[in-house]
Amino acid sequence: MQEYLIAPSILSADFARLGQDVESVLQAGADVVHFDVMDNHYVPNLTFGPMICEALRNYGISAPIDVHLMVEPVDTLIGSFADAGADMISFHPEASRHVHRSIQLIKDKGCKPGLALNPATPLSVLDHVIESLHHVLIMTVNPGFGGQAFIPEMQDKIRQLRTYIDEKGLNTVIEVDGGIKADNIRHVADAGATMFVAGSAIFNQPDYAKAIHAFRQALAQ
Ligand SMILES: O=C(CO)[C@H](O)[C@H](O)COP(=O)(O)O
Ligand SMILES: [Fe+2]
């Protein structure tokens, strides 16, 4: 059976009690912690850096941490996030002057590299580097904010990426990020995604377990 990963985006968590909130969402059945890093330069918003990642590890969070870098430049932050306890690190190709070098830096630090593609970024940016990637993060909203609506055209992009990966015989993970809800997750999975980021659809609900269960039920259909 296909294994699906649910990755709550802590962008929508309660920052005043972040450790407890992340612990709660993991106890509620989440698989991975999605950690959105925004710099008010690559995207028009500002969030958190490696110190917060390290603080979560020190608090006792042992689940995989999936760092989504929406920063420019990229390379100077890779080492700090790896040292702070990141497992997966993705970045946007537009924000790196040397994409292959950034991927190698992530690997050299023992983390799993990913490329994050904005809605208007073509899949062709994956040519020549796809073999080095652990995951491709398809943005299904424009990066910078939580709580936006899923862009329907991305369904076809995910499908094309599935074909691209399968034709090469790779097992690259397709991660989707933005506007994922219980009522669209099945369609996104049908298109070929296996890892689902969701911020507002989980953290804005009173019962995290119920929200995650609704995702799993939709995926099991
Ligand atoms: O990378 C992101 C925004 O740039 C977030 O991960 C994403 O938008 C998740 O939030 P939501 O599920 O509320 O759309
Ligand atoms: Fe994200």
The closest of 65, 56, 70, 59 to 35, measured between CA atoms, is 65
Q: Which ipTM was obtained for this model?
A: 0.98
pLDDT cut 90: percent of the chain above it: 99
Q: In testing the pocket of ligand 1, which one of 141, 150, 176, 183 has its CB within 8 Å of the most ligand atoms?
A: 141
DSSP notation for 138-179: EESS-TT-SSPPP-TTHHHHHHHHHHHHHHTT---EEEEESS
Tell me the C-alpha distance between 124 and 90, whole Å: 17
Tell me the C-alpha distance between 147 and 149, whole Å: 7
The pLDDT tens digits of the residues spanning 77-127 come to: 999 999 999 999 999 999 999 999 999 999 999 999 999 999 999 999 999
**Mean pLDDT, range 131-154, rounded to an integer:** 98
Burial of 27 (0-12, 13-18, 19+ CB in 10 A): exposed
pLDDT over threshold 90, residue 219: yes
Ligand 1 centroid distance, CA of 198 (Å): 6
Mean pLDDT of the chain: 98
The pLDDT tens digits of the residues spanning 185-215 come to: 999 999 999 999 999 999 999 999 999 999 9
pLDDT over threshold 90, residue 2: no
Check if 8 has its Cβ closer than 6 Å to any atom of ligand 1.
no
CB 30 within 8 A of CB 63: yes
In order of start, what are the domains of the chain with their CATH numbers?
5-220 (3.20.20.70)
CB 112 within 8 A of CB 87: yes
